[in-house]
Structure 1
Amino acid sequence: MFLSFGSFAKYEVFLLFHLPLAGLLCLFLNVAALGESDRWSRCRSAADPDARMGGCTEVIGQGNRGSRRDRTEAYVNRSAAYRAKGDLDRAIADLDKALKLDPRSSPALIERASIRHSKGEFDRAIADYDKALQLDENSATAHGGRAKAYRSKGDLDRALADLDMASTLDPNSAALYLERAALRRARGDLDRAVADYDRAIELDPRSAAAFLDRAGAYREKHDLEHARRDLETASTLDPRLAAAREALDELNRIESAAPPSSAPPTTIATKDSAHAKEASGAHGLPLITTLATALGLALLLGFLAARIKLPALVGYLLAGVFLGPFTPGFVANTEIAGELAEIGVMLLMFGVGLHFSLDDLLDVRKIALPGAVLQIAVATALGAGVASLWGWGTGGSLVFGLALSVASTVVLLRALEARGALESMNGRIAVGWLVVEDLAMVLVLVLLPPMGEWLGGSAPAGRDGTLLLALGVTLLKVSAFIALMLVVGRQVFPQLLWQVARTGSRELFTLCIVAAAVSIAFAAAKLFGVSFALGAFFAGMVLRESEFGHRAAEESLPLRDAFAVLFFVSVGMLFDPMVLVEQPLRGLAVVGIIVVGKSIAAAILVLVLGYPLNTALTVSASLAQIGEFSFILAGLGVSLGLLPPEGRSLILAGALISIAINPLVFASVEPLRIWMRSRSALARNLERPADPLAELPMTTDEKYLSGQVVLVGYGRVGRRIGESLADQGVPYVVAEQNRELVERLRQDGLAAVSGDASDPAVLVQAHIAHASMLVVATPDTFNVRQMLKTARTLNPEIETVVRTHNEEEAMLLEREAASKVFFVEEELAKGMGHHVLKRYGKAPREARA
């Protein structure tokens, strides 16, 4: 049972000699297998015809070592490569050899028939299709190919019979319905032709060619309304489709030349046709028509939206939906609307740049920067994951996820302003968070075009080379543009504004601002390959640095708002409402990611970063919508061939719904917080997390614990008050929501606690019970009553001082809370009045008293 030592030694010698030989044999077989695999890979799927021919030739060159089936397949594949290069004779020669090896090869017969048809050999093509159908009578490809051959011969009846059979065998082939529609249109059967076009578009709603061909059928039916709508849709789906633009121009000429009485009798007098008739007289002025209808309808629907407490933005988007090609009625000129939208994008991003404050961002950087980056990553992963489950490609899924990850700064600012929370700490955190998102999307807009081809889309015109080279060139151009703007722009444009301002002409000043925004954006796109959006953003940033930045923002606001409306209207025109009817679950998933997924992710991140529950809920509500950057990104994704038009419609649907319900989300923040605190100990703990900055250290000097001033807020006003108290040796404790600021104050030796002073626990930690005075230096009038109530409950004798920007609020606070209230405008007027009286040697009335 056991080997003897001698036997083992012989066995060892055997192994020493034969194992290396076995290893070499395995290596040889692996190399041979790899070589075989490489040949077949190139033969079957190489995109380059030469590479494909090379691989197939190597397979064929193996002769009898390869199977008959393999050599047949190699001849068929090499034939396709020859055909791609235009060498039809060699392609047929290879197919002849394939059929010699396997006379029953249906793919070889169908391919040879197709080539013979393209060479004009219709009878021989039909003969090959006949043989293929004898082998497989249920081949939809063979029936469809033979139909084309019969049609080329003029035998329309047999062609139609074959197409009927082909569409029965393959009812989901849009190409077969298009072919049958064209045949029926040629026979004059326009109603059935339109029905086939309808089915083809139902199967492939992104086919611009199908809309273009159906427009031709409608025109032949004298139904110019539907023809126009289809041509508009074809132009929207494929802006490069010259035939659609030419047909639209011809249609405009026909309608403008025709008198009203010459309207074709076949046009049904419906609401749709009435709209078309009203618009037909204005087709000679398409710009004015588009502006009038877009702005007028946007005004009406925006007003109605505002009346029912929805953001006006919802009305603007709905106006675009009603004017778009996917809804009945008047269809605005999408080409002109698109160009106006480009101006809207420029001015919108110019405004973002004008309001971008690096200082405000730095104040909340420790929460906004990591929070926004991680939230973008989580939301992008959610969106991309769902899109992947739908079968979209990597590039389309990535663009879809990114578009769902970024919220609208415009919507957020208006929501915070409506609640008086813009200047609150939670408001500043939310705005800083969105500023980081905006900056991230600016970077995406820069990097996406050079990466488009690598992600599965199309490369921008004029771009070639490797991905790294394209990225390098793009980043180099962007860096050059940014350097030019920061070095030259910061010197030139403020001087230009100064010279224009000296003329005293308000219209020249406004013109200078708008011209600078549009010209810089255009030059950035043409000279540096930078998007209009990025160019306008940096133009705004540069102008903000000048002393006229604030005036530039004010003067350009009306024009920016007007073109922003046109931008949102043009975005709405791209929305196909049928996507919600046909795919309601996908629409629900998109809204779920925006409103629920992003919000939960953001809330968890805020809590992990050490901020209280109310901050987490406010930031979550702020992010529960998407807007302008999502639209820009979706448009770029579609233009690069990454995102399907269906994806853009889903993004627009998500934006409409999320913006519409965002006021409800914001309104639910406080009730939700109260409900969670009343029912959950965890929520109460999260409201006051274990934060060392939330209470004064044990080593705090006694002078800060009794008889001190409690100063709520350490912003521009609070800091000056604190400096005055420190100069006179008056001890004070700061209560501030900005944790980073509290940390810096403690490093400077000042007593400070972190938290929202409307929370009684914060004032307790500031020792309000033993304080001599409470000074509320924040403009947060919404929570000031709660602060005063807490202070008087714990310390009935405390003196309170508050500030307000509202005269009615000032009177109410003085009457209710018996506080000393400083009304900002009144105090400013007093200060200026004192200065004037002092200049003339007069004493103010209160000083004389």
Structure 2
Amino acid sequence: MTAEPNFVLDLTLALGASAIGGYIAHRLKQPALLGYLVTGLVIGPFGLGLQTDVEQIQGLAEVGIAFLLFALGVEFSLTELKRVKDIALKGSFLQMGLTTLLVCSVSLLSGTANSPLQGIFLGLVLSLSSTAVVLKTLTDRGETATVHGQVMLGLLISQDLALGLMLAVLPVLNQPDALGPALAIAALKFGLFLAGAIALGRWVVPQLIQHIAATESSELFLLTVVALCLSVAWITSFLGLSIAMGAFVAGLMISEIDYADQALGKILPLRDTFACLFFASIGMLIDPHLIVSDLGRILELVALIMVGKALIILPIVLGFGYSLKTAVRASFGLNQIGEFSFVLALMGLELGLINEERYSLLLGTIAISLMLTPLWINLAPKVADWLHNLPVLKDFLNQAEDPKLLSVPGDIHDHVIVAGYGRVGEVLVNVLLSRGYSVLVVDNSETAIQRLRNRHAPLVQIPFVYGDADSELVLEKTSLETAKALAITLPDPTTTRLVLQRALLRAPELDIIARSHNNEEIDVLTQLGAREVVQPEFEAALELGSHVLNTLGEQSIEIQSVLDWIRQDRYRSIRPAVQVGEGYRNTAKERKQKSEKVESSAS
């Protein structure tokens, strides 16, 4: 019984301290993830020593990884997975192979490894990237649906698949005769799991979720979703594969059924809570005394690995036909060492592939590379812009950014350009076509362009440009000067700003409507020149409010005037940041006066 209060205390301490660390990081305009990592370092056994049971916290942290990947699987539909399947499978094989070869060669030449076997082991450890850290950073930035986000996640998922083979191979790495059977057994386990997952996903899970949903019990639905996620993750762990892969597959089972959004909504609070514990637990593994004593060597290793991996990933992504911007973001996002490398490093220590000193050195290198990841991802767009402006690369980049495919009449005019043919863009195109307007679509996804061509053929051929909407060469093909309007529905905030700026340089009088991804962006896009900025969440709330007010007996003309005023005021009066105070009372007073004017004019 004495262990239980300690566990509750440790859990409370980890969550409470992480909340404080995340808040401080947010106030310093840094990712909350960095706050969680530093919190773990401070309260962990190598810091103040406040955390007494790190192993139990790390056990809960594995649940955080499972929920992170489960939520990704629910959001990451099979259609989107097919979109990046080539680079996910072939690209990850190239990346891991080249990284292992580079690390093995350098470690043998420098004397870090005493044999090719040790060099290969170090290469395998360092070839992995962090699914949890990258996914969390992309989620916080709203970039999981972007092209670079999906490329990165596709590569990470393939790495998680390869982790199972690594875990199977390492124990027999120094036994060539046993290597073949070990690989065969690992492949057999993966094949059996995949077959079972497909069968469950097709015939069992949809019916199970449907029956549970029919009970209309929220807690029963949540328990079923959690049990499904953790049970599939446990099965993959039992088979010697990665927990992350099992949780992701469990999410994919649900992604295609009607209750996917409901399942995702239930799991998100749990995901965020346990993910916070995961990042704090990584911080608890960091020994600041070791880092200080070997700081020079660790920083050299971090620089070598992160720069080396970036230089390996960059040409691979470019080679699969993606733009330089996507390649730079992917290379900067995947150049760290993954959290599962901790597991491989510990296994290598137990098998005698590395000694205690090198194990400690690896831990410090992995920890620092993980902490630097959010900063590198934030830096990537600036580096991409800098490369674009280099005179040496200008001709090459112009050729690379030239639209890969386009279907635009030479005399097109009075058209509406829709940048981004995702879920929002597709609805907008359908609305415009139903009203008889001419539309031109710009998108850098081959899948989206193919969907556009198949959806409306043979009744109507919609002009399109296949390329990056923020490329000046792509914008040149859209006849901005003769267009009536430009609607930017892209999921990437940075690209949205670039499209807006570059479009206005070519057509200063063009009406531009932009999609905002968060509250702060509304004012930024307006200041950059957008005629109208739409925040989807606010618009959904306004429509709900409109129906509620109508139900309560409000007059339609008054409701519409209130909605119009809120939109004209750029949602200021309903933004969460606006608290009850003088500013809010003033806006409420203005709204009331405007409403009274509308009523008097109507009467």
TM category (shorter chain) comes to: 0.7 to 0.9
Q: Which runs of 5+ in 1 are unaligned?
A: 1-280, 460-464
Does 2:478 align with 1:758?
Answer: no
SS in 1 for 2:269: helix
- CA shift for structure 1 position 455: 0.6
Q: Deviations over 1:368-401 (max 9, x none)?
A: 5544443333333333334443125555543432
Distance in 1 of aligned mates of 2:51 and 2:424? 53
Distance of 2:399 and 2:270 partners within structure 1: 46
Matched, 1:363 2:73: no
Alignment equivalent of 2:480, drawn from 729, 752, 768: 768
- Separation in 1 of the partners of 2:396 and 2:221? 51
Aligned-pair Cα RMSD in Å = 4.3
Distance 1:640 1:827, change over 3 A: same
Question: Contact 2:144 / 2:150 at 8 angstroms: preserved in 1?
Answer: no
Secondary structure of 1:495's counterpart equals helix
Out of 349, 364, 371, the residue aligned to residue 660 of structure 1 is 371
The answer on whether the counterparts of 1:311 and 1:411 sit within 8 Å (CA) in structure 2 is: no
Alignment map for 1:631-650 (pairs within 5 Å): 631-638=342-349, 642=353, 644-650=355-361
Q: Which residue of 2 aligns with 1:485?
A: 197
SS at match of 1:766: coil
Provide the residue aligned with 2:162 in structure 1: 444
What percentage of residue pairs aligned between the two structures are identical?
A: 35
**How far apart are the structure 2 equivalents of 1:379 and 1:753?**
36
Letter in structure 1 aligned against 2:97: A
Give 1:240's aligned residue.
none
The 5 A counterparts of 1:86-101 are none
Q: Displacement, 1:782?
A: 4.5
Task: State whether structure 2 residue 426 is matched by structure 1 residue 714.
Answer: no
Aligned to 2:127: 405
SS of alignment partner, residue 418 of structure 2: strand
**Does the 8 Å contact 1:305/1:314 carry over to 2?**
yes
Q: Secondary structure of the residue that 1:701 maps to in structure 2?
A: coil
- Return the alpha-carbon distance in structure 2 between the equivalents of residues 833 and 339 of structure 1: 44
Secondary structure of 1:735's counterpart equals strand
Greater RCO structure (CA 8 Å; 6+ sep): 2
Letter of the 1:701 counterpart: P
Cα distance 1:818–1:384, how it changes in 2: closer, same or farther (>3 A)?
closer
Relative distance call for 1:682 and 1:738 in structure 2 (3 A) is farther
Match of 2:257 in 1: 546
Match of 1:41 in 2: none
Change (3 A) 1:692 1:613: closer
Deviation at 1:677, TM superposition (A): 4.2
Equivalent residues, number: 553
Deviation for aligned residue 1:417: 5.1
Matched ranges for 1:608-627 at <5 A: 608-627=319-338
1:689 is the counterpart of 2:405: no
Change (3 A) 1:521 1:309: same
**In the TM superposition, what is the alpha-carbon distance from 1:594 to its structure 2 partner?**
3.7
Partner of 2:572: none
Q: 1:471 maps to which residue?
A: 183
Whole-Å separation in 2 of the counterparts to 1:790 and 1:329: 53
Q: 1:319/1:738 Cα in 2 relative to 1: closer, same or farther (>3 Å)?
A: same
SS in 1 for 2:417: strand
Distance 2:473 2:520 in 1: 29
Q: What's the offset of the Cα at 1:598?
A: 1.6
Distance 2:33 2:525 in 1: 35
Which string of whole-angstrom CA distances, capped at 9 and with x for unpartnered residues, describes residues 440-475 of structure 1?
A: 233323223432332138x9xxxxx94333333332
Letter in structure 1 aligned against 2:11: L
Aligned residue number for residue 115 of structure 1: none
- Are 2:167 and 2:240, in contact at CA under 8 Å, matched by a contact in 1? no
Secondary structure in 2 matching 1:453: helix
Q: Tell me if structure 2 keeps the 8 A contact 1:290–1:333.
A: yes
Return the alpha-carbon distance in structure 2 between the equivalents of residues 671 and 732 of structure 1. Answer: 32
Give the distance between the partners of 1:589 and 1:815, measured in 2 at CA.
43
Which sections of structure 2, spanning at least 5 residues, go unmatched? Answer: 562-597
Which whole-Å CA distance do the structure 1 matches of 2:314 and 2:93 have between them?
A: 14
Query: In structure 2, what residue type is equivalent to 1:288?
Result: V
Q: Residues 402 and 473 of structure 2 are in contact (CA less than 8 Å); yes or no, is this contact kept in structure 1?
A: no
Q: 1:587 offset after TM fit, Å? A: 1.6
Contact 1:756 1:762 in 2 (8 A): yes
Of 262, 266, 273, 1:555 maps to 266
CA 648–744 in structure 1, closer or farther in 2 if over 3 Å, else same: farther
Structure 1 residue 727: deviation in Å?
6.0
Contact 1:430/1:622 (<8 A) preserved: no
Q: 2 CA distance for matches of 1:783 and 1:307? A: 25
| Displacement after TM superposition at 1:760 (Å) | 3.4
Does the alignment pair 1:381 with 2:101?
A: yes
Residues 445, 809 of structure 1: CA spacing in aligned structure 2 closer, same or farther, 3 A cutoff?
A: closer
Residues 641 and 303 of structure 1: CA distance in aligned 2, closer, same or farther (over 3 Å): farther
Distance 2:202 2:357 in 1: 43
What does residue range 30-109 of structure 1 map to in structure 2 within 5 Å? none
In 1, are the aligned partners of 2:418 and 2:439 still within 8 Å (CA)?
Answer: yes
TM-score computed with the length of structure 1 as normaliser: 0.56
**Alpha carbons of structure 1 residues 788 and 393: separation in structure 2 relative to 1, 3 Å:** same
Aligned residue for 1:737? 444
SS at match of 2:326: helix
* Structure 2 residue identity aligned to 1:443: L
